[in-house]
Amino acid sequence: MTEHVSQVVVGGGVMGSAAAWQLARAGHDVVLLERFEPGHTQGASHGASRIYRTTYTQPAYLDLAQEAFGLWRDLERDAGLATGDVLTLTGGVSHGFPRPGEIGDAFVARGVAHEWLRPEEAGERWPGLRFEGDVLHETATAGRVHADRAVAAFQSAARSHGADVRHGVHVRHVHPGAGSVRVVTDRYDLVADTVVVAVGAWSAGLLGAAFTVPDGGAPVPPLVVTQEQPAHFALAPGAPAEDTWPSFTHAPAAPHPWPSGVYGLATPGEGIKVGFHGVGPRTDPDRRTFRPEPGQLAQLQDYVRTWVPGADADRLVPVSCTYTTTPDHDFVLDRVGRVVVAAGFSGHGFKFAPSIGRVLAELAREEPAAQPVAADRLFSLARFAGVPAG
């Protein structure tokens, strides 16, 4: 059996679901195909907490972050949720900046509400944390996104606009043609005008044989898939309540014993989530162990003992998730022929999801508004031309 549809989105994680929502609410016929069942933990879109913040200096990321703030609220309304059900504002603090003037200038230029605090001032305000150097407090546009609710809301809202959301459908191949794209699944084939591929850690495997980009480059960038090891730490005795914690990031000054910078935020009912960034072991998404990585977990406990006195480093629940990372840690948002590629979100993409969904939808429809993004080398496939696949 072969179905003919206008738009197919492959991948029902946050990015694919956001693209389906944006396509459907613009009035387009769209089918969303997701390999796993709702609420699965196989990819990178599960759990209850992701940081939303605006602490970028590049204009392209600032554009997406500021747009996403309003779109998260649009999603809540469209899905029939209360304000704050998906995006909860807690404020956000960042410390250890190697070049604090750059982010400060970007915030001033964009009108992002913020203040700078001395480390002792920040420590008095948030006694669950210790601080290093000047502390940036993003006062009104930072917090956390509930990941599971976000994915469910995108899919619910997409359905309300007519999208056909199908779980348990494994896409085996994507075959671009001159006038259409054939999507081969384990159940049936679909022929679509355009296909958006947003399959995270499975990107290279699905797209590897589908097409090539100019100058002999890889069809997708040399992506590295890692299994990351954050954890939820219980509150220490006498620590501030979970709902008083800001989201936080820390770039420790060199030399330091940690493998990377650190992020953290409260996850209501689960404690304080703390993790390193993009330093887990490589993994095959179909052969993950989901077992805690003892060395990294021990380092994370040491970090919490040193810098997060409000959390109990000895009472924790490990979390397993994947990062799919490009060499430059920037995203891929591009179109080749009739295939739109969304890949390589490198552990910092979730916060942008509704605005990335808008970009993907416009790329799928070849609308002029998307062209600046498609042409921006920051997000293009062409920047990896000639780079061997990883």
Instruction: State how far the alpha carbon of 183 is from the alpha carbons of 238, 243, 338, 343, in Å.
Output: 56, 45, 12, 18
Question: Which of 132, 102, 103 minimizes the C-alpha distance to 117?
Answer: 132
The arrangement of secondary structure in 3-45+149-221+327-384, i.e. its CATH architecture, is 3-Layer(bba) Sandwich (3.50)
- Dihedral in degrees, nearest 10, Cα atoms 339, 64, 242, 238: 120
Residue 350 to residue 356: CA distance in whole angstroms: 9
Q: What is the rounded CA–CA span in Å between residue 2 and residue 94?
A: 52
Q: Is residue 75 within a helix (H) or strand (E), and if so which, with residue range?
A: helix 59-78
Round to whole Å and give the CA distance between 78 and 153: 8
Coil, strand or helix at 295 = helix
Report the pLDDT averaged over residues 14-28: 97
Structural domain boundaries in the chain = 3-45+149-221+327-384, 92-139+225-325
User: 220 pLDDT exceeds 80?
Assistant: no
User: Is it the case that residue 146 has pLDDT exceeding 70?
Assistant: yes
Across the chain, mean pLDDT equals 92
pLDDT above 70 covers a percentage of the chain that reads: 93
Express each pLDDT in 230-279 by its tens digit: 999 999 999 999 999 999 999 999 899 999 999 999 999 999 999 999 99
CA–CA gap between residue 75 and residue 280 (Å, rounded): 32
pLDDT band at 369, cuts 50/70/90? low
R_g of the chain, CA atoms, integer Å: 21
Which pLDDT score is estimated for 390?
55
Give the pair of three-digit tokens for residue 88: 């909860």
Cis geometry, peptide bond prior to residue 255 (ω within 30 degrees of 0): yes
Question: Residue 75 has which token pair?
Answer: 């999603």
- What residues have CB less than 8 Å from 249, skipping those under 6 apart? 51, 53, 55, 92, 93, 94, 95, 261, 262, 263, 264
Instruction: Give me the pLDDT at residue 56, please.
Output: 95
Q: Report the SS3 class of residue 206.
A: helix
Question: For residue 175, which phi and psi values (nearest 5 degrees)?
Answer: -115, 100
Question: pLDDT tens for residues 270-295?
Answer: 999 999 999 999 999 999 989 998 99
**Predicted pLDDT at 101:** 85
Q: Answer yes or no: is pLDDT of 304 > 60.
A: yes
- Model confidence at 386, pLDDT cuts 50, 70, 90, reads low
Other beta carbons within 10 Å of 184: 15
Check residues 211 and 355 and name the one with the higher pLDDT.
355
Residue 213 has pLDDT above 60, yes or no: no
The 10s digit of each residue's pLDDT in 122-144 is 999 999 999 999 999 999 999 99
Query: What backbone phi and psi angles, to 5 degrees, belong to 25?
Result: -75, -15
For residues 299-316, average pLDDT: 98
CATH superfamily ID and name for 92-139+225-325: D-Amino Acid Oxidase, subunit A, domain 2 (3.30.9.10)
More confident residue, 48 or 293: 48
pTM > 0.85:
yes
Task: Please say whether the dihedral angle defined by the alpha carbons of residues 132, 134, 136 and 139, taken in this order, is positive or negative.
Answer: positive
Q: How far is CA 219 from CA 35, 360, 388, in A?
A: 22, 17, 10
Cβ(208)–Cβ(389) under 8 Å? yes
